[in-house]
Amino acid sequence: MTSSPNDYSTIRPSDYQTTFIFFSGKGGVGKTSMACTHAVRYADEGKRTLIVTTDPASNLADVFEQEIGHQVMPIAGVPNLSAMEIDPDKATQEYIDRAMSPIRAAFPPQIVQVMEEQMSGPCTAEVAAFDRFTDFLDVPSDNGTAFDIVIFDTAPTGHTIRLLELPAEWSQSIDAASAGSGQTCLGPAAAIQDAKHKYERALAAMRQSAQTQFVFVLHPEAISIKETRRAIDELSKLDIHNFRLIVNGIIPPAGAGNPLFAARAEMQARYLEQIEREFTYSKQRMILLADEIKGAARLRQVGKIFFDGEPASGSDEAAEVQLQNAAFASSLDEVRARLSPNGHRRTVFFAGKGGVGKTVASCVTAVWLARQGYKTLLLTTDPAAHLGEVLDTPVGDEVAEVSGQPNLWAVKIDPKAAAETYKARILNDARKRGRPESAIKMMEEELNSPCTEEMAAFDKFIEYASQDEWQAVVFDTAPTGHTLRLLELPVDWSKQIDVKVFASVDATAADDVAKQRFGKVIQMMSDPAQSTFAFVMYPEATPILEAWRAAQELGTVGVQPGLVVANMVIPSEQATTPFVQSRRAMQEKYLAEIGKRFGVPLVQIPLLPREVKGLDMLAELGEQIYGEKVIA
């Protein structure tokens, strides 16, 4: 369906049981805004509604403009609506305490200590967050405190898919551990049999089309369409089939009176036709608004536009506004000093909220560095990697030179393949060290857990980043919360290496070589002469806040931001209509805030008439934002 008002009868809560609605899609497409808009509408209709996020980079509190946190909280000004942001750290501690409680009373302290250490691995936060999430899928329908509808504002698609795959994988992991040592990365198998049944019930609920719907939010753009197709295919493999689409960010007629936005509207029209042609599911559309979506009153206005077909308010069509037309961007010398090698290898990490343009920023930077004459490696561990689409050339699982661009190599780290290599190396090393077969078997069970892929992907990155042949390494990272866990892994692994497997392993068998290797990487990341962390964001409130939180958390491990990148900035000369002027004025406010908050050089990537794709366009954009060739 493509016209307004939108018919949302197929996603109305049922009258006889709790209805679950998952909002998913590529990062940055407006999942949270759409999820919150639906939540307010249902609550206003008298439905007891709960909105929950499993996104480690949550921004529900920003949208509702109130504190929420790791507990169910009523939303001010919206009777019948509550919200919760699952905190990975708190969920982890709750999970460990619950799983270990019966063990502490039944086993000697040294055994309990080993089990607790094994549960303190880097994957436990994801495990625990999902465990807390499943509680809301496992509420008896006759419970007087149950909600009529539970909305899940999920993490970006790649991360979400892994979360949804976990129940089946965990069941296998639990079964295998029960037949073996009785220990898994989730904790003692005997202590979590109830959890196994809960996960099975959760997956069963997700497969009930009469009770559960998956709403994919996407932009009319190539990568967003491809990501949606991939996610639907993955969910279909899990026997989940009840989908509908919200095509968001469509430029309204009021915005298309400007040459830049008219060109983008023309581009969008082609993709809207593709969406209609390729997706048979029910579809709804939502226009791009001139200002932000924040606060209950604004969410109600958006609901009237989306559900009822009301025209955008006067604020969306915006009267003439006073523009500062300030440059905001830092000097080229300042920026280039944070990107170019200065006598030794430079590693540039691009971080930020999902969907803000990290892949574009990393590809532009890698092409620019290669054209400067530096031997450059571009890589990603993002499970939803889009390097190939932006470069317009295939990127495989082995390092290969990028055709048409001398000095540039690229690789996509496949977490599944990396996991197999990682497992083999760890087990072979253990055998060489003479560890007893019982310990080897226990390690193998641990490595067969669904948590190993993330560890292995980062381990593979370390392997590439440690090679001496590169003058520059550009790392296109995963969305913020995922990235932070990756960057914390070396520290966590160093701790894990010292874990004794009961009394069978001598503490001196700790892998000192690996610890030294991880230590070097941590040192490299925290040295501004060797590494630059560049935070990418739109000049809007939510991406700025998420980047700021990420920077604060990285600061706790000694890593400071070295660069900020504002993406999709409307050029001041394009602010020729009220709609565009309103959006430019909003961006100017936030460009100033970015400069004040971060206090590091600022790069601007302009909003362009079409998507960034291909080496020629990347080279041209690189010269525009970083300057022309500066070395021989």
pLDDT of residue 70: 84
pLDDT of residue 437: 79
pLDDT of residue 287: 95
Residue 16 and residue 163: Cα distance in Å, rounded?
28
**Boundary residue ending a domain (292, 316, 340):** 316
Whole-angstrom CA distances from 489 to 121, 454, 457, 515 are 9, 9, 11, 12
Q: For residue 522, give both structure tokens.
A: 């941590």
pLDDT of residue 15: 46
Q: What are 7-10's contacts with CB under 8 Å, separation 24+?
A: 8/38, 8/284, 8/307, 10/213, 10/244, 10/282
Least confident of 33-42, 127-136, 245-254: 127-136
Q: Is the pLDDT of residue 115 over 70?
A: no
Which pLDDT band holds residue 155 (cuts at 50, 70, 90)? low
Same-domain pairing of 401 and 297: no
The most confident of the ranges 220-234, 271-285, 447-461 is 271-285
Q: Is the pLDDT of residue 163 over 50?
A: yes
pLDDT of residue 385: 65
Same-domain pairing of 399 and 500: yes
Domain membership of residue 632 (yes or no) is: no
pLDDT of residue 570: 94
Domain membership of residue 302 (yes or no) is: yes
Same-domain pairing of 364 and 311: no
Q: Which residue has the higher pLDDT, 3 or 436?
A: 436
Same-domain pairing of 257 and 342: no
Strands (E), 388-479: 400-401, 408-412, 472-476
Which pLDDT band holds residue 503 (cuts at 50, 70, 90)? very low
Domain membership of residue 135 (yes or no) is: no
Average pLDDT on 57-73 reads 86
Residue 245 and residue 426: Cα distance in Å, rounded?
43
Q: Is the pLDDT of residue 505 over 50?
A: no
Least confident of 49-63, 105-119, 193-207, 541-555: 105-119
Q: Is the pLDDT of residue 283 over 90?
A: yes
Residue 594 and residue 592: Cα distance in Å, rounded?
5
Same-domain pairing of 485 and 569: yes
Q: Is the pLDDT of residue 105 over 90?
A: no
Same-domain pairing of 286 and 341: no
Domain membership of residue 189 (yes or no) is: no
Same-domain pairing of 383 and 431: yes
Average pLDDT on 153-177 reads 55
Same-domain pairing of 308 and 240: yes
Residue 149 and residue 246: Cα distance in Å, rounded?
19
The most confident of the ranges 224-233, 276-285, 453-462, 486-495 is 276-285
Domain membership of residue 365 (yes or no) is: yes
Q: Is the pLDDT of residue 317 over 50?
A: no
110, 119, 111: which is closest to 91 by C-alpha? 119
> In which domain, by residue range, is 273 found?
9-88+146-177+197-316
pLDDT of residue 307: 95
Same-domain pairing of 299 and 354: no
Domain membership of residue 211 (yes or no) is: yes
Least confident of 98-107, 267-276, 444-453: 444-453
Least confident of 44-48, 139-143, 416-420: 139-143
Q: Is the pLDDT of residue 164 over 90?
A: no
CATH number of domain containing 52:
3.40.50.300
Q: Is the pLDDT of residue 566 over 50?
A: yes
Q: Is the pLDDT of residue 303 over 90?
A: yes
Same-domain pairing of 272 and 412: no
Q: What total of structural domains would you count in the chain?
A: 2
Domain membership of residue 34 (yes or no) is: yes
The most confident of the ranges 23-27, 119-123, 324-328, 469-473 is 469-473
Give the global pTM: 0.80
Same-domain pairing of 219 and 354: no
**Boundary residue ending a domain (281, 316, 351):** 316
Question: Dihedral sign, CA of 436, 438, 439, 441?
Answer: positive
Domain membership of residue 224 (yes or no) is: yes
Same-domain pairing of 247 and 295: yes
pLDDT digits (tens, 9 = 90+) for 469-490: 999 999 987 545 555 555 555 5
Mean pLDDT of the chain: 79
Q: Is the pLDDT of residue 179 over 60?
A: no
CB 375 within 8 A of CB 472: yes
pLDDT of residue 230: 86
**Boundary residue ending a domain (268, 287, 316):** 316
Which pLDDT band holds residue 603 (cuts at 50, 70, 90)? very high
